[in-house]
Structure 1
Amino acid sequence: MKYNNEWKKDVIKQIYKVLSVIIAFVSAAGLWYWNIGQGWSENYHGYLTLSIVGVAFSVVYWGFAKMYQAQKIGIFRLTELAYFQILSFGIADAILYIASVLWFHGFDKLSLISYIAVLAMQMIIIVALIFVCNRLFAKYDEPRKILIVYGAEDYVSFLNKIHAKKFRYKVEGCYEDSVDIKIIKNAIDKCVSVYLYDVNKEVKKELILYCNSIGKDIYITQDVEELITMGFDISHTFDTPFIRTKRMPVRWYYPVVKRVFDIISSGAALVILLPVLLIVSLCIKLYDGGSVFYKQIRLTKGHKEFYIYKFRSMVMNAEKNGARLASQNDNRITPIGKVIRATRIDELPQLINILKGDMSVVGPRPERPEIEKQYLEELPEFGLRLAVKAGLTGYAQVFGKYNTTPEDKLKLDLLYINQRSMLLDLKLIFYTIRIIFIPEATEGVAEGQVTAMSQEKR
């Protein structure tokens, strides 16, 4: 029965993927035919042109759909999948529109309304498809049975994250790594996946070998040291094989290209978003008559201090009792502040910091000196984040949250630092668009916490 359910779920996934690509192909070819190339379908060249347009659009759409995980039916909620699909189709439609303009050398020959109408039609059809497929998938889906083996004291924070996704996961057992290994192995036999959370090396080694022998998925946390040395090759100088840590050198042109990109993108964004900046400024001023902007000392590359600019989202003198991160249901946040924080609009003035050279578009988020000092007491390696210039967005912002613990934030930032390139920067920028309207990404720290350091470590 279980095998049949898995087969049915796979069929639903494939149907969803195929139909979404068909929607992309038909809508693009139809848009081109009705808006640009009427009459082309009457001969061979017409069919060929429409086919090329449809395929090209489908490839672009599929690339963004994969990036935004818009094809992950059964994993995300209906609203999340709809949002990811809107982004994927919307960006692909925009590229098609720009290509059309370049093809015909002018905006006056094309109708933007028809593109908006097609996007609306795409959304109606795709949301209906998501709804049907999600319901069918849920009918045959069961929570994934997992086992957690832990060695760190703060495993409870990870356990809470698992429980928050109870519709996807069912924790069959939670064992400390000091428990008899035979008991853990017996529990593994009843699960689909095993999560090793900061487990000691001996237990980790034995469980990895055991899971590999019985074909179980295994997920393992990595230490900071492991992430620093994650780039490696094999040395065969001796008859004993060695792993040689090998950090990929940053291309000589990367800093120059990155700075040029920062200047052009931040300058263009300030011009394009000027109406939004003015409206938000007016709303903040009219609400309580206080200052529109909020500036604060932050740290960037080499522990250099600078003033970061943000739209004020809290009441005046919000930190008169000392620096602390925003908590959930923080009464210091104004009604306007809740909106601009949820949509990340409060971060837009940092485009000025990027233009000045204080920050980059992509990089680790700049921390406050006093908060970093607290983090360094518990995590001396936290300063490794400042090997590169701070950024408006980055690895930790995309894959973490506002309340992500300092250790996890450091690990995410090290992944970026060790792999940084313009291609990765562009990918993270597109990923940032994906998380703008995801509420969990702006979730504050728990009540009573001053920083994101977990309660267990405080």
Structure 2
Amino acid sequence: MKKRRKGYTIFRALKTGGHLLVLGGSFLGAFRVLEDLGHGRPLPLAVLYLVLLEGFWLILEAGDVEQRRFLDLMYSQFFGAAAASLFFGALMCAVSSLSMWQILGEFFLLLVLQSGAGMAWAALCFGLYLRGQSHKRALFIYGEREEPEEITEKNNRINGYFHIAASVPCREAAKRPGEVLGGYQAVYLGDLPPGDKGAILEQCMIMGKDCYSIPGLIDVYTQNARILRLQDKVLFQYHKGGLTAGQKKAKRALDIGVALALLALSAPLMLVIALCVRLEDGGPVLYRQIRYTEGGRPFRMLKFRSMHVDAEREGARLASRNDSRITRVGRIIRNLHFDELPQLVNVLKGDMSMVGPRPERREFIEEYSRVIPEFSQRMKVKGGLTGYAQIYGKYNTGPEDKIKYDLIYIYNYSLRLDVRLLFLTVRILFQKESAEGVEEGRRSAVRERKERQDGDDQTS
């Protein structure tokens, strides 16, 4: 245990030291660029540049190697550096007598060097962290409806935080937790009943085991509990979810401001997309679909049409990875998420928010709710153009995980969280996995789970 703690301390020191070196190099690079451009006071502007760069990296979580995926780190490093360079390049164009191309050339070179150094640092830290974590032998404690072999294989293929060495059913672990947990550095708790989960978790804390858990909805509810003191008693006050009147007004103001700015910036692009959609097959440019938002209220959600006109003649189903219904133009705009741009109009009308759970169709809401009763809680707030589940999940992330992401957002809401998620949305625009469809032939992401549960009920 002491050896592991020492290793983590060394890792943190290397991570901090490397970050300071990257920032120092960025400061020197900005100072040199400002000198080359003939600015009279390069030092204070270089400091301001450094503060802005660090701010963008913090918002984009560019240094969170313990939590983020590798590609997320790379995108965040690049976009943080790009935002800082673009801002200062525009500022210098406004105050300098030099040509715009000369200024942009200098800042482009700075961007390349800066983002390259940042990505190299993040890649090194990410590799060191996973190497330090992956040695941990973990015991997987699974619930009745889980497949331990399948989960173990998938975990050990993609998870660098620990290695599942053995698995036991919940019933066995709950009867003799002290005996079962011995010999493992970590414990991975699956979908367990709350009582058994609590008992095993308590034993893990007593024995000093690293413990990982698939969160249940009760965990989401308790995550944001507020501590109150009633005389000498300790109370937890749980957030009921939803927004206060003040939060709704502030969120609406943010929605209008951001939507107007994005519509103004994207108007030329939207005209080009509309022309391309129309020319490909002569069909309508926009696709209107009934979705449901806050309180179950229906509205017509707008999208650029990315599928053939008769794509849903056999009924509603999610897009698959190589879906033949998608047009050539549609495939491009879906991969870049540009098909969602008309929803800025929905935001201005008040049907949607910039950030929130993605609004769903009635048939999917009804189907998901039969298996996941808590699914309807997503409609405590307006549906969003982007959201927590879209940023931290994928298009084909299962509904069980998406509902957890959405409820984490609802029960931890703040305007600052909205602003951070808007910045993070830039990171997913060019990630193919965030737009990748489900497996071929699946009508919805929950159907297979329901059929598996029905089969279990019949054989039990």
Do Structure 1 and Structure 2 share a fold, with TM-score over 0.5?
A: yes
CA contact (8 A) 1:86 1:123 kept: yes
Taking the aligned partners of 1:341 and 1:190, their CA distance within structure 2 comes to 49
Q: Which residue matches 2:77?
A: 85
Q: Which residue matches 1:25?
A: 27
1:19 is displaced (CA, Å) by 2.6
CA contact (8 A) 1:361 1:391 kept: yes
CA contact (8 A) 1:364 1:389 kept: yes
1:225 is displaced (CA, Å) by 4.1
1:356 is displaced (CA, Å) by 1.8
Unaligned regions of 5+ residues in structure 2, if any?
452-460
1:367 is displaced (CA, Å) by 0.4
- In structure 2, relative to structure 1, the CA distance for the partners of 1:141 and 1:216 (3 Å cut) is closer
1:148 is displaced (CA, Å) by 2.3
Q: Where does 1:170-249 land on structure 2 (aligned, <5 Å)? A: 170-181=163-174, 185=178, 188-237=181-230, 241-247=234-240
CA contact (8 A) 2:337 2:429 kept: yes
Taking the aligned partners of 2:109 and 2:391, their CA distance within structure 1 comes to 31
Taking the aligned partners of 1:278 and 1:107, their CA distance within structure 2 comes to 34
Taking the aligned partners of 1:418 and 1:134, their CA distance within structure 2 comes to 30
1:427 is displaced (CA, Å) by 0.8
- Secondary structure at the aligned position of 2:382 is classed as coil
- In structure 2, relative to structure 1, the CA distance for the partners of 1:114 and 1:240 (3 Å cut) is closer
**TM-score of the superposed pair, with normalisation by structure 1:** 0.84
Q: Which residue matches 1:118?
A: 110
CA contact (8 A) 2:285 2:305 kept: yes
Identity of aligned residues (%): 33
1:425 is displaced (CA, Å) by 0.8
**TM-score of the superposed pair, with normalisation by structure 2:** 0.83
> Match for 1:311: what amino acid?
F
Q: Where does 1:100-115 land on structure 2 (aligned, <5 Å)? A: 100=92, 104=95, 111-115=103-107
CA contact (8 A) 1:232 1:247 kept: no
Q: Quick check: 1:365 aligned with 2:367?
A: no
CA contact (8 A) 1:328 1:444 kept: yes
- Secondary structure at the aligned position of 1:423 is classed as helix
Match of 1:149 among 141, 149, 168: 141
Q: Which residue matches 1:455?
A: 448
- Secondary structure at the aligned position of 1:218 is classed as strand
1:362 is displaced (CA, Å) by 1.0
- More deviation, 387-396/8-17: 8-17
Q: Which residue matches 1:344?
A: 337
Q: Quick check: 1:327 aligned with 2:329?
A: no
- In structure 2, relative to structure 1, the CA distance for the partners of 1:98 and 1:342 (3 Å cut) is same
Taking the aligned partners of 1:355 and 1:31, their CA distance within structure 2 comes to 41
- Secondary structure at the aligned position of 1:322 is classed as coil
1:299 is displaced (CA, Å) by 0.5
- In structure 2, relative to structure 1, the CA distance for the partners of 1:12 and 1:251 (3 Å cut) is same
Q: Which residue matches 2:436?
A: 443
Matched residue pairs, number?
447
Q: Where does 1:419-430 land on structure 2 (aligned, <5 Å)? A: 419-430=412-423
Unaligned regions of 5+ residues in structure 1, if any?
41-48
Q: Which residue matches 1:284?
A: 277
Taking the aligned partners of 2:18 and 2:447, their CA distance within structure 1 comes to 40
> Match for 1:147: what amino acid?
L
- Secondary structure at the aligned position of 2:271 is classed as helix
Taking the aligned partners of 1:131 and 1:387, their CA distance within structure 2 comes to 39
1:369 is displaced (CA, Å) by 0.9
- In structure 2, relative to structure 1, the CA distance for the partners of 1:233 and 1:269 (3 Å cut) is closer
Taking the aligned partners of 2:136 and 2:222, their CA distance within structure 1 comes to 32
Q: Which residue matches 2:409?
A: 416
1:132 is displaced (CA, Å) by 6.6
CA contact (8 A) 1:8 1:140 kept: no
> Match for 1:31: what amino acid?
V
- Secondary structure at the aligned position of 2:158 is classed as coil
- Secondary structure at the aligned position of 2:397 is classed as coil
1:248 is displaced (CA, Å) by 8.3
Q: Which residue matches 2:388?
A: 395
Deviations 1:186-240 (A, max 9, x none): 5644444322222223432232222223332222344334434544344544665
1:351 is displaced (CA, Å) by 1.0
- In structure 2, relative to structure 1, the CA distance for the partners of 1:420 and 1:242 (3 Å cut) is closer
Match of 1:272 among 265, 274, 283: 265
- More deviation, 299-308/166-175: 166-175
Q: Quick check: 1:54 aligned with 2:25?
A: no
Q: Which residue matches 1:37?
A: 39
> Match for 2:140: what amino acid?
I
Deviations 1:422-449 (A, max 9, x none): 2111011011112222233223223332
- In structure 2, relative to structure 1, the CA distance for the partners of 1:163 and 1:320 (3 Å cut) is farther
- More deviation, 89-98/369-378: 89-98
Match of 1:296 among 289, 297, 317: 289
Match of 2:62 among 70, 75, 82: 70
